Amino acid sequence: MMVNQQERDPKHLVPPAIFPGVSMTLRPRLRRKDVPAYLASTHGIDIALSTLNKLATIGGGPEMQYSGRIPLYHIDALDAWAAARLSKPVRSTSERSAA
C-alpha cells in the first residue's frame, strides 16, 4: 500500500506538547488557539493569540478556512506565512539593511 508524502511528512504530526494527553496525531488544520504554539515550536516565531485575532479581522495573517464558525489554519498555510515573515539569511546587520 502506497502512503502519500503528506502522510509521512513529520511536520504534519503535531507534537503532544501542543496537545497534552494526545498522542502524535495527523492534524492538517489547527484551531486558532493552537497556532501560536505551532509557530513557536516549528518556526521560532512568537505571536500572541490576540494578534492572530486582530490579523484575522484586518488582514495580514495566515490564510484560514472555516468549518461552520470555527476558523482553521492549514499547516502548509502557516508554514508559508511564517516563511514570508522571515528575512533571507544574513551574516551581519549591514546585510539586513541592504536587502
Q: pLDDT of 24-62, one tens digit each?
A: 456 899 999 999 999 999 999 999 999 999 999 999 999
Whether the model clears a pTM of 0.75, i.e. scores above it, the answer is no
C-alpha cell at 61: 495573517
- The set of residues, in sequence order, having a beta carbon less than 8 Å from that of 6 and lying 6+ positions away, is 12, 28
- The set of residues, in sequence order, having a beta carbon less than 8 Å from that of 43 and lying 6+ positions away, is 79, 82, 86
- The set of residues, in sequence order, having a beta carbon less than 8 Å from that of 79 and lying 6+ positions away, is 11, 42, 43
pLDDT value at position 96?
Answer: 79
At 97, the pLDDT band (50, 70, 90 cuts) reads confident
